[in-house]
A = this chain, B = another copy of it.
Amino acid sequence: MLDGMSTTEEVPVLIRRSAARDRLVGTASRLFYGEGIRGVGVDRVMAEADVARGTFYRHFDGKEDLVRAYLEGADRQIRDGVAAVAKQISSPAGFLAAVAHGIGDEVCGAGFRGCPFINAAAEYPDPQNVIHQTVLRHRAWFREVLVDAFRRLGATSHEQSADSMMALRDGTMVAGYLGDAQRARAVLLHGVTALVAAR
């Protein structure tokens, strides 16, 4: 668990690394996250990334593929962060508290605009859609991380504890975006503390 390396898989052909590609994903991440996915055209992304049209379509099958790269980048980043915390903190209680602190700090950061996955799912509701499924995969993974931690903690019902923390996380993400981030952070930390204490 927590390897953070299971969603890789790419076509065997190809490019995989390139300055232009990195610039595209970076710019797309900034714009998609900041202004919404459907609200930003690939023209905009290409222009701000200083990448020509042909180059874009050599690296990506189309916009959806770029969106997928954006979300998978965010996913990778979060998995790496969680893995780093897990490596550093062995106790499940400490791990959960650290994760909560990480989220709390995130929602209070400048430019926080909600959870990229929740937001993406709002724009791609079709369960069959690749992007929607990317969101579901990320969420399933994170839930499993929490279930595992509460199991190691010896919680009477790991699943319910994990779901409660998941709800607190999601609620904090929403409130951090559409309400008072400081209060949202406090609610999350307080709630997770209670969950861990209650076991």
Q: Which residue of B lies closest to A126 (CB)?
A: B35
A157-185 vs B, CB cutoff 8 Å, 1 = contact: the mask equals: 00110011011111110110111100110
A177 pairs with B121, CB closer than 8 A: yes
B residues in contact with A172, CB < 8 Å: 167, 171
Partner of A164, one of B38, B170, B191: B191
Q: Mark A127-152, 1 if CB is under 8 A from B, else 0.
A: 00000000110010001000000000
In the complex, what residue of chain B is closest to A121 when comparing beta carbons? B178
The segment from A15-23, A68-76, A111-119 found at the interface with B is: A111-119
Distance between Cα atoms of A35 and B119 in the complex (Å): 14
Residues of chain B within 8 A of A125, CB atoms compared: 34-36, 39, 113
A124 at the interface (CB under 8 A from B): yes
| Chain B residues with CB under 8 A of A52 | none
Residue A78 interfacial (CB < 8 Å): no
A25 partner residues in chain B, CB cutoff 8 A: none
Q: Residue of B at shortest CB range from A164? A: B187
Tell me the residues in window 44-73 of chain A with beta carbons closer than 8 Å to chain B beta carbons: none
Confirm or deny: A190 has a beta carbon within 8 angstroms of a beta carbon on chain B. yes
Q: Specify the chain B residue showing the minimal Cβ separation from A120.
A: B122
The answer to the question of A99 belonging to the interface, with a C-beta cut-off of 8 Å to chain B, is no
Pick the residue among B122, B170, B188 that contacts A123 (CB under 8 A).
Answer: B122
| 14 A-B interface contacts by CB (under 8 A) | A35-B125, A113-B125, A122-B122, A122-B123, A139-B178, A143-B179, A159-B183, A160-B183, A163-B179, A166-B175, A166-B179, A167-B172, A167-B191, A174-B174
19 further interface pairs, Cβ-Cβ under 8 Å (given A160-B187, A166-B171, A167-B191): A35-B125, A36-B38, A36-B122, A36-B124, A39-B125, A114-B122, A120-B122, A121-B178, A122-B122, A160-B183, A163-B186, A163-B187, A164-B187, A164-B191, A167-B167, A168-B171, A169-B171, A170-B175, A174-B174
